[in-house]
Amino acid sequence: MTDRKKIAIVGVGLIGGSMALQLHEKKLSSRLIGVETDPVHAAKALELELVDEILPLETAIDLAEVIILAIPVDRMVNLLPVILNRVKDQIILDLGSTKSQLAEAVKHHEKRGRYCATHPMWGTEYSGPASAVKGAFENKAVIFCNTEQTDADVLDWVKGMFRKIGMRQLEMEAGAHDLHAAYVSHISHITSFALANTVLQKEKEDNAIFELASAGFESTVRLAKSNPSMWVPIFLQNKENVLDVLNEHIEQLKRFRDCIQEEKADELKNLIEEANKIRRIIR
């Protein structure tokens, strides 16, 4: 059974705040410390009782037994080595969407074993502590990366924590994670941003978009409301994989364009039927 610990969450926004709710509910934390540089977010996190207190980073590191990083991945790459420099035997994990640069940044650090690289596969288009969702991670997948570099006691506690909050667990190498994340997550956001820009460029009547937008459009473009401070670093850190899948997506769009332009009904039907095969995987 995973024992209760004093836990610091660095970044009490959507992901960090939702994790705080789970830690409270599942009685995994004896004391929950928030680290938040945005004073508005800090005040909201306290108001919503997501954390017990807000403290400076250095104080939080010294007091906590577990440190959870839930900040944009560009900041994470810079901050993780700093935290490792300061810790003694604390457990550190991150909840970031890219892993290769993070793994590279600390692979030779003498305290690398105290760090566990994880990615809970959940999120919404909203941001900030007010967007935290109760039960957000239940029945979702969490990816563990490069576990052979993590100390056994760290891995045991983190796996126990995610098990208790109801997450399915997978393991893969950091590079493989970033490749698959580009295919199933990152391209979805780029497509949504691009579609929103297309509609906003072509349709000048806001009211027409509001009145005519169907559920299909709303679900496709929903991710376009996502926070750029989170997604710009993800795209740039995972540049090679994102460009690979983006170039393939552009080629697929060209095929649809050419079939419509040349009125090739049979080829267009084949493209749609090929896409229908996704039903085997996603129902």
DSSP SS3 for 62 = helix
Note the pLDDT of residue 219: 82
pLDDT in tens, 173-191: 999 999 999 999 999 999 9
pLDDT band at 1 (very low <50, low <70, confident <90, very high): low
CA–CA dist 63, 196 (Å, integer): 45
Supply the DSSP symbol for 56. Answer: -
Radius of gyration of the chain (CA): 21
The mean pLDDT value for 70-80 works out to: 97
pLDDT value of residue 213: 72
Q: Average pLDDT, stretch 18-25? A: 97
Helix (H, G, I), strand (E, B) or coil at 235: helix
| Average pLDDT over every residue of 80-102 | 97
- The residue with greater pLDDT, 261 or 203, is 261
Give the domains, in start order, of the chain with CATH numbers: 5-173 (3.40.50.720), 177-280 (1.10.3660.10)
Position 218 confidence tier, pLDDT thresholds 50, 70, 90: confident
| SS3 of residue 72 by DSSP | coil
Angle (CA) 165-170-173 rounded to 5° is: 130
pLDDT-derived band at 204, boundaries 50, 70, 90: confident
Chain center to CA of 259: 36
Separation of first and last alpha carbons in the chain:
35
Is the per-residue pLDDT at 211 higher than 90? Answer: no
Give 117-165 as a 3 state SS string.
Answer: EEEECCCCCCCCHHHCCCCCCCCCEEEEECHHHCCHHHHHHHHHHHHHC
C-alpha span between 187 and 25 (Å, rounded): 33
| 49 pLDDT more than 60 | yes
What's the mean pLDDT in 93-104?
97
Asked whether the predicted pLDDT for residue 158 surpasses 70, the reply is yes
Q: In the chain, where does DSSP find H-type helix?
A: 14-25, 39-47, 57-63, 73-86, 100-106, 152-164, 174-181, 187-202, 206-212, 215-221, 228-237, 239-261, 265-276
Name the band, by pLDDT with cuts 50, 70 and 90, for residue 212: confident
Which residue, chain included where needed, has tokens 């807000």?
Answer: 54
Tens digits of residue pLDDT in 231-241 = 999 999 999 99
- pTM of the complete model: 0.93
CB atoms within 10 A of CB 193: 18
* Integer CA distances (angstroms), 48 to 42, 126, 204, in order: 10, 16, 39
Provide the pLDDT for residue 5. Answer: 95
